[in-house]
DNA sequence: AAGAATTGGATTGTTAACAATCCGTGTTAT
DNA sequence: ATAACACGGATTGTTAACAATCCAATTCTT
């Protein structure tokens, strides 16, 4: 149990980014993190290095690490990459989904529904992203799944920065209709709905108002 | 000029992998590398950490770093990911290629031709990979280009491991025909040729004979 | 002689102290 | 009063020594 120390830091920060608790631009001080996680500063340093590999942390020499601030160009590239990758993932899912996979998707949709019903926005955000991750797992291509992990993280940063109000969540009925198409093995329909869905998300961002970073690190990383 | 120290190590090893000078499974000892690059062991350590982020180095705790050895499953996933990503890259290229871009592609094809003419296999391997990288640059999506960098690296490892004889190089006329289609702005044709091309490469690997790692580290990293 | 334990050397992992850089504050000069 | 400058505290980067682990060769036992 001595290995996953820095992996825990990485996962914790990734979760916080994916859930939009950590916003673009917040400073990730080494000392602060080592106190939060009760560990050596070198472990923090390695974790931050891994996170820069994920493209979600920028490392400015002698000035520290900051949660990455995607540019409008980044946003466009990320969403185009998502369409490219999730299309293939979805095709895999249509062809390979087992009854258990479909059941998992239905259960996930129910959770999403419940979170919305309770107006639980933080959980709704997490589950909204989780649908795409679950789809990737069903697609059974770890390489693509890994890239999608990274791209959804960056999407969270983008939406947190440029997203406007109601557009910060995936429309749930779109998730449901994609699930229907997968269950019906309707590949063309599933791919079309997914592409449409991703374009809807992208349409919900506007580069005029970029909300600045704020908030305390320690509370953003509380679980 | 103090920054790119570990970046130099990373690039040097990546180049060696991309050129198939470094084969899957070779050990990357920290001391050996720090002597080769004349630097601190910690810099080597960080470089190796970045390379594991690229999925081209496996890090076994307390046992050191090794050039990754892709499994047959990895091979399938990597090539499927390449088809997904390069399709979008190629579509971008068809739509956005400038006359200068076309000229660059033609110049590259000429280089490839020359290398084959001189039976210069190492250079031919590098250029063969370079065509795909050049295409990605023309596609003007750095996110996808970054992923393709990684995937072509892993492809080099796969082909070095499982590739059979003549199949270890891209067929050059396929590169030329793809270039023709791009110049003619024939999107359908370009995408079809590229997909075909990638399937040809994948068809050239056979999992029966996996050549083991061998050779001295220092000579593989000579530039 | 074959296999299991052991020891030595080499390699990796960690720690703590030290050096360099940056940022904000306060001072001084124009 | 404003702007340039200088200082002090804080943060990041580096170094070197130390501890832990692993691997291979040797020795010991049956």
Mean pLDDT in runs of 10 for chain B (223 residues)? 79 96 96 95 97 98 97 98 98 98 98 93 94 98 98 97 76 93 98 97 88 70 69
Q: Are residues A193 and A112 in the same domain?
A: yes
* Chain B residues near residue A47 by CB distance under 8 angstroms: none
- How far does CA A222 lie from the centroid of its chain? 18
* Strand C nucleotides with an atom less than 7 Å from a protein beta carbon: 11-16, 21-23
Q: State residue A167's pLDDT score.
A: 63
Q: Do B50 and A53 touch (CB under 8 A)?
A: yes
Q: State residue A100's pLDDT score.
A: 98
Number of domains in chain B: 2
Partner-chain residue, chosen from A53, A54, A144, that has the shortest CB–CB distance to B84: A144
Q: Are residues B46 and B101 in the same domain?
A: no
Task: Write out the DSSP string of chain A.
Answer: --STHHHHHHHHHHHHHHTTSSPTT-EE-HHHHHHHTTS-HHHHHHHHHHHHHTTSEEEETTTEEEE----HHHHHHHHHHHHHHHHHHHHHHHHH--HHHHHHHHHHHHHHHHHHHTT-HHHHHHHHHHHHHHHHHHHT-HHHHHHHHHHHHHHHHHHHHHB-GGGGS--HHHHHHHHHHHHTT-HHHHHHHHHHHHHHHHHTB-SS--PPP-S-HHHHT--
Q: Are residues A150 and A112 in the same domain?
A: yes
Task: Tell whether B115 is covered by a domain.
Answer: yes
Q: Are residues A89 and A198 in the same domain?
A: yes
For A140, name the nearest residue in chain B, comparing CA atoms only: B77
The H or E element that residue B64 is part of is strand B64-67
Q: Kindly list the distances between the CA atom of residue B36 and the CA atoms of A11, A111, B20, in Å, as whole numbers in the listed order.
A: 34, 55, 19
Instruction: Output the domain CATH number for residue A46.
Output: 1.10.10.10
Q: Are residues B193 and B180 in the same domain?
A: yes
Q: Are residues A81 and A44 in the same domain?
A: no
Instruction: Output the domain CATH number for residue A119.
Output: 1.20.120.530
CA-to-C1' span, A209 to D26 (A): 73
3-state secondary structure of B197: helix
Q: Kindly list the distances between the CA atom of residue A67 and the CA atoms of A29, A54, B182, in Å, as whole numbers in the listed order.
A: 11, 11, 38
Q: Are residues A199 and A177 in the same domain?
A: yes
Q: Are residues A55 and A96 in the same domain?
A: no
Task: Tell whether B208 is covered by a domain.
Answer: no
* CA of B125 vs chain A CAs: smallest distance (Å): 24
Task: Tell whether B125 is covered by a domain.
Answer: yes
Residues in chain A, pLDDT under 50: 1
Q: State residue A71's pLDDT score.
A: 96
Q: Are residues B92 and B181 in the same domain?
A: yes
Q: State residue A220's pLDDT score.
A: 75
Q: Are residues B54 and B134 in the same domain?
A: no
* Chain A residues near residue B87 by CB distance under 8 angstroms: 84
A100-154 per-position pLDDT tens digit: 999 999 999 999 999 999 999 989 999 999 999 999 999 999 999 999 999 999 9
Q: State residue B214's pLDDT score.
A: 67
Q: Are residues B96 and B197 in the same domain?
A: yes
Task: Tell whether B100 is covered by a domain.
Answer: yes
Q: Are residues B83 and B184 in the same domain?
A: yes
Residue A186 sits in which domain range? 72-203
* Chain A residues near residue B50 by CB distance under 8 angstroms: 49, 53
Task: Tell whether B179 is covered by a domain.
Answer: yes
Q: State residue A223's pLDDT score.
A: 58
């Amino acid at each position: 149990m001595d290995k996953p120390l820095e992996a825990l830091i990485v996962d914790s920060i990734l979760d916080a980014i994916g859930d939009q608790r950590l916003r673009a631009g917040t400073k990730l001080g080494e000392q602060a993190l080592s106190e939060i996680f009760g560990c050596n500063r070198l472990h923090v340093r390695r974790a931050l290095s891994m996170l820069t590999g994920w493209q979600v942390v920028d490392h400015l020499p002698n000035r520290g690490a900051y949660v990455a601030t995607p540019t409008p160009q980044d946003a466009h590239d990320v969403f185009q990459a998502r369409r490219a990758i999730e299309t293939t993932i979805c095709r895999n899912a249509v062809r390979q989904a087992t009854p258990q996979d479909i059941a998992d998707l239905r259960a996930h949709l129910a959770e999403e529904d419940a979170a919305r019903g309770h107006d639980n926005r933080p959980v709704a955000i997490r589950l909204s992203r989780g649908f795409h991750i679950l789809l990737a797992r069903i697609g059974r291509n770890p390489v693509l799944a890994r890239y999608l992990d990274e791209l959804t993280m960056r999407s969270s940063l983008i939406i947190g920065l440029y997203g406007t109000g109601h557009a910060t969540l995936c429309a749930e009925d779109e998730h449901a209709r994609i699930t229907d198409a997968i269950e019906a093995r309707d590949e063309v329909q599933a791919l079309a709905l997914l592409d449409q869905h991703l374009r809807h998300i992208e349409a919900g961002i506007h580069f005029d108002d970029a909300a600045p970073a704020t908030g305390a690190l320690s509370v953003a990383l509380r679980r």
